[in-house]
């Protein structure tokens, strides 16, 4: 008798996401003024997100420490770190260019708003941190404060220093290294318990998103949202597809299939940090070296923002069109530079996407108040850009893992 094939986690996530969309549209059409999804379904999704967020600090702390210790060589830690950083900056710069090319193809369709509308717009931009403030903020003055505040850049710094210290301590550090490895294993076991709840969380969150924002999808901002998603899809196909195929030597189809649980989680939670644990698990199952994914992915969740970069390029040109401003080639080049550098500078700040967009608008002389035009549907942008962000992190983990395997094999031959 043929055994029935069980549905895997990715399958259940897809089923629950589609069910959530269906339920959301039912409430949207049958009871448009109902707050049922917000009052009863969204809180369940919020509990799921809270559980994921509660695991972010221990996962980042112990996984990076364990990753550094597993690399077993401080020079190798530096090599992996530099290679990862360069990869992230290059893909982010390409993402901004793709966003600008796509949005310029459609900018003729964007409306020029009447001055009476633009003059009434109000948006208070959060203060963007200065470059030196960001650098100083990476190095904490307190061991526990960054963990309590879930400020990832200082947490990563703490993990790298303690991991390096354990390596430098030699024999005396081995016992602590074993303890870190055990804590990392325990953290991952707790994590897997939470991951099993993903389909439920996805269903509740998606139902509320559709019920609350569904009408806006067909509104006046549908075009700019569509343009952003065209940019997201092109970046996935061109940049990530080529990276996986030619740099990692892996089938793009197999990669995206393996990463599906993380991508679907990112799409519904709109949080790179909350998706991090699932991303690590997916990459390890696809063959990434655990010590590499434990180091590269938390770093990417903090500084790599390809989706956000495309979003900034699209929104900057859209807002410029709304104000009747035609951006020059020099201004577009400034958008590329600002968005790429800002991806590191605002990573640990709440509301990073909006702050980064504020910086981009100011760099080309556009009114920051223009953000108010797209603020109401930012959630719809965020779902796609977060998915793109975590996918970029995963491509880096796969590539760096392959490079490190080759280096270790070459050393073994010698």
* 3-class state of residue 286 by DSSP: coil
Residue pLDDT, tens place only, 28-80: 888 878 889 889 998 998 898 888 778 878 887 888 888 888 877 788 888 89
pLDDT at 403: 94
Residue pLDDT, tens place only, 347-392: 544 445 666 787 788 778 888 777 777 766 777 888 898 999 999 9
Tell me the pLDDT band of 283, cut-offs 50, 70 and 90.
very high
pLDDT at 179: 94
pLDDT at 340: 79
Average pLDDT over every residue of 150-162: 84
Is residue 288 within 8 A of residue 398, CB to CB? The reply is yes
pLDDT at 214: 67
pTM of this structure: 0.78
Alpha helices in 196-328 (DSSP H): 198-217, 222-235, 241-242, 252-269, 272-285, 290-303, 306-322
Cα(294)–Cα(298) distance, rounded to whole angstroms?
7
Average pLDDT over every residue of 7-14: 78
Query: What is each CA distance from 99 to 167, 303, 311, 316, in whole angstroms?
Result: 43, 19, 7, 10
Tell me the pLDDT band of 3, cut-offs 50, 70 and 90.
low
Cα(66)–Cα(388) distance, rounded to whole angstroms?
27
pLDDT at 349: 42
Query: Residue 344's closest CA among 85, 103, 127?
Result: 85
Q: What percent of the chain has pLDDT over 70?
A: 88
* 3-class state of residue 308 by DSSP: helix
- How long, in residues, is the chain? 414
Give the number of other CB atoms < 10 A from CB of residue 294. 29
Q: Return the structure tokens found at 185.
A: 């294993």
User: pLDDT at residue 254 above 90?
Assistant: yes
Is residue 197 within 8 A of residue 51, CB to CB? The reply is yes
Better pLDDT: 53 or 164: 164
Residue pLDDT, tens place only, 172-207: 898 999 999 899 889 878 877 887 888 898 899 888
| Mean pLDDT over each residue of the chain, to the nearest integer | 83
Give the helix/strand (H/E) hosting 336: helix 329-345
Residue pLDDT, tens place only, 87-108: 999 999 999 999 999 999 988 8
User: pLDDT at residue 405 above 60?
Assistant: yes
pLDDT at 364: 83
Give the number of other CB atoms < 10 A from CB of residue 251. 12
Q: Return the structure tokens found at 89.
A: 């900056």
Better pLDDT: 282 or 413: 282
Cα(102)–Cα(237) distance, rounded to whole angstroms?
14
Please report the domains of the chain, with CATH numbers, ordered by start residue: 9-413 (1.10.3860.10)
Cα(47)–Cα(43) distance, rounded to whole angstroms?
6
Tell me the pLDDT band of 111, cut-offs 50, 70 and 90.
confident
pLDDT at 123: 47
pLDDT at 1: 44
Cα(174)–Cα(158) distance, rounded to whole angstroms?
18
Q: Return the structure tokens found at 14.
A: 């897809």
Give the number of other CB atoms < 10 A from CB of residue 130. 10
């Amino acid at each position: 008798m043929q055994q029935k094939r069980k549905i895997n986690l990715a399958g259940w996530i897809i089923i629950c996401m589609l069910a959530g969309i269906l339920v959301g549209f039912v409430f949207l059409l049958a009871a448009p003024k109902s707050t049922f999804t917000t009052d009863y379904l969204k809180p369940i999704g919020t509990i799921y997100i809270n559980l994921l967020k509660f695991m972010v600090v221990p996962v980042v702390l112990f996984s990076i420490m364990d990753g550094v210790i597993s690399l077993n060589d401080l020079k190798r830690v530096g090599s992996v770190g530099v290679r990862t950083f360069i990869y992230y900056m290059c893909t982010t710069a390409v993402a901004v260019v793709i966003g600008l090319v796509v949005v310029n193809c459609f900018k003729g369709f964007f409306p020029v708003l009447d001055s009476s509308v633009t003059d009434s717009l109000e948006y208070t931009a959060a203060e963007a941190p200065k470059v030196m403030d960001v650098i100083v903020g990476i190095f904490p003055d307190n061991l526990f404060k960054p963990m309590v505040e879930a400020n990832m850049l200082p947490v990563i710094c703490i993990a790298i220093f303690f991991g390096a210290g354990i390596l430098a301590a030699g024999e005396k550090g081995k016992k602590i290294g074993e303890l870190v490895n055990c804590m990392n294993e325990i953290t991952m076991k707790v994590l897997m318990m939470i991951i099993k709840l993903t389909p439920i969380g996805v269903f509740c969150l998606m139902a509320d998103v559709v019920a609350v924002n569904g009408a806006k999808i067909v509104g006046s901002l549908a075009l700019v949202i569509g343009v952003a998603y065209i940019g997201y899809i092109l970046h996935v196909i061109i940049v990530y597809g080529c990276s996986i195929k030619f740099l990692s030597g892996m089938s793009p189809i197999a990669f995206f299939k393996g990463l599906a649980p993380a991508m679907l989680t990112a799409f519904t939670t709109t949080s790179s940090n909350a998706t991090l644990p699932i991303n690590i698990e997916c990459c390890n199952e696809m063959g990434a070296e655990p010590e590499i994914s434990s180091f590269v992915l938390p770093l990417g969740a903090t500084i790599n923002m390809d989706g956000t970069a495309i979003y900034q390029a699209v929104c900057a040109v859209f807002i410029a069109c709304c104000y009747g401003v035609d951006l020059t080639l020099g201004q577009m080049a400034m958008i590329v530079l600002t968005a790429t550098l800002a991806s590191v500078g605002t990573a640990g700040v709440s509301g990073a996407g909006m702050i980064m967009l504020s910086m981009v608008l100011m760099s080309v002389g556009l009114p920051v108040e223009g953000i108010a035009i797209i603020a109401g549907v930012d959630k719809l942008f965020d779902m796609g850009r977060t998915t793109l962000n975590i996918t970029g992190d995963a491509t880096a983990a796969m590539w760096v893992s392959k490079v490190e395997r080759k280096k270790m094999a070459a050393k073994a031959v010698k």
